[in-house]
Amino acid sequence: MKRTAGILLPIASLPSRYGIGCFSKNAYDFVDWLKEAGQTYWQILPLGPTSYGDSPYQSFSTFAGNPYFISLEALIEEGVLTEEECEAADFGKKENDIAYKKLYENRYPLLRKAYERSRITENPAYLRFVEENSWWLSDYALFMAVKGRFEGCAWTEWAEDIRLRWDFAMDYYRRELYFEIEFQQYMQFKFYEQWNALKAYANEKGIYIIGDIPIYVALDSADTWARPELFQLDEQNVPYAVAGCPPDGFSADGQLWGNPLYRWEYHKSTGYDWWISRLSYCFRLYDVLRIDHFRGFDEYFSIPGTEKTAKNGHWEKGPGIELFRRVEQCLGWHEVIAEDLGYVTDSVRRLVRESGFPGMKVLEFAFDSRDTGAANDYLPHNYIEDSIAYTGTHDNETLAGWFQSITPKERQMARDYLGDSYTPDEKLHKSFIAVIMRSNSKACIVPIQDYLGYDNTCRINQPSTIGKNWRWRITEKELSKTLQEEIRATAMRYGRMNWD
């Protein structure tokens, strides 16, 4: 077994000159930094265009890329933007924060200028991209253009003719919004051109990308609007059942996500064609694919579409192993990480085992005073080889923040497990990282904030909250040589060094 290590850092959280991490020189510098730190993997979050709330797990498309990640520096080099134009735009003043409202107001006008100056229809690579991706791009570009015409409203609030995709309305808006549609296609072309170049560079350096997709698509997405037959929608394309999680000790009402549920019998009747297309696309984008909420393929929680909470939901059977057998039959074997966290049943464990995909082990889940048994799946001495170990994920507190938030009893449990009664709290994150690095898991992924010992002010996401998430960015100064050498020494010490 090759023991490896990697770092979790979203693209948006990279350093950059213009308000948000993107595919600029900073991204290439980070690849070099990872290489020198002895890492094998760079794990990112979903790359799709984000909607209200800025969550990459609620995207306008499961296939499109986020235009915010297009490097303005690259467009300056192309000659379609000037440095003066980019410097004049207000993207916020804090280099460690993302001001999404200012990005929305100021980045798109710059991208529009770049498009109008690009003479893009004379570019054979662009024409080829549009033709090869028309199976998703034409619907997405029209969706975004029409959304702009309706002042950003969700498609469920559009005029009935275009909401239900009547032929004459589709033809009308394609004519009426021709240049808006072409602008959307231009942004997707630049996104994928720049992403593919960055991924190729990373792979040349021996760094492999772990991508991420949510199991569900957003209701307000091109996917749902264009393919209503795939989802549990009524004749007016209104969801009659939506996704979420049942009530538990943390939430008396459960979680009402609101994503449309799949009509699995229909997917089965097509040989899971849409899933084959979706995963085939992802396998080209990433070296390894993490699938969020993997347990939903075994059983999914169904909540009536009219409900305001998840209290009255119930469990339904998902497609199970049949889907992944079909994927392997059509696409061959690919590396996938099954996000099997939360309430895990025996049938979920069986599905993960039968799929052959490694599951996830999260250290922060290991020290729960309500369950002190040594058989805890999240205690590092119990990690099986075919697993991926994490200190925490994008949804968790930072290690330092978590240790301060748990009970005194749980802090003592953690110290007893580490055999460490003396290390000051502010340095204990290093001991926690070391303990998962010593585990049998074939890969260990650590959020960069945990290596830095940062508290919850640097947290990526706090589920069920809006307005303060997905905003944190690291600065160039924080990606220091000292930190790099410390991470490299850790990888070497525990046999996880990337020597390629």
- DSSP for 277-321 reads HHHHHHHHH-SEEEESSGGGGTEEEEEETT-SSSTT-EEEE--TH
Name the token pair of 106: 């100021």
346 a catalytic residue: no
d(CA 89, CA 106): 6
Q: Is 90 tagged catalytic?
A: no
CA distance 220 to 163: 11
Q: Is 29 helix (H, G, I), strand (E, B) or coil?
A: helix
Structure token digits, residue 338: 């099954």
Quick check: 346 and 365 in contact, CB under 8 A? Answer: no
Cβ atoms of residues 398 and 450 within 8 Å: yes
Beta bridge partners of 162: none
368, 354 Cβ separation under 8 angstroms = no
- Describe the strand order of the beta sheet including 299-304 as a list of residue ranges: 255-260, 241-245, 299-304, 314-317
Q: Which of 339, 364, 410, 450 is catalytic?
A: 339
Beta sheet of 387-390, edge-to-edge order: 336-338, 288-291, 208-213, 41-43, 4-8, 443-447, 387-390, 359-362
Q: Is 371 considered catalytic here?
A: no
The residue annotated as part of the active site, out of 85, 316, 368, 395, is 395
Is 170 exposed, middle or buried (CB count within 10 Å of its CB: 0-12, 13-18, 19+)? middle
The alpha-helical segments, DSSP class H, found in 345-398 are 346-355
Contact 237, 157 (CB under 8 A): no
**Catalytic residue selected from 139, 212, 292, 364:** 292
* Active site residue ranges: 292, 339, 395
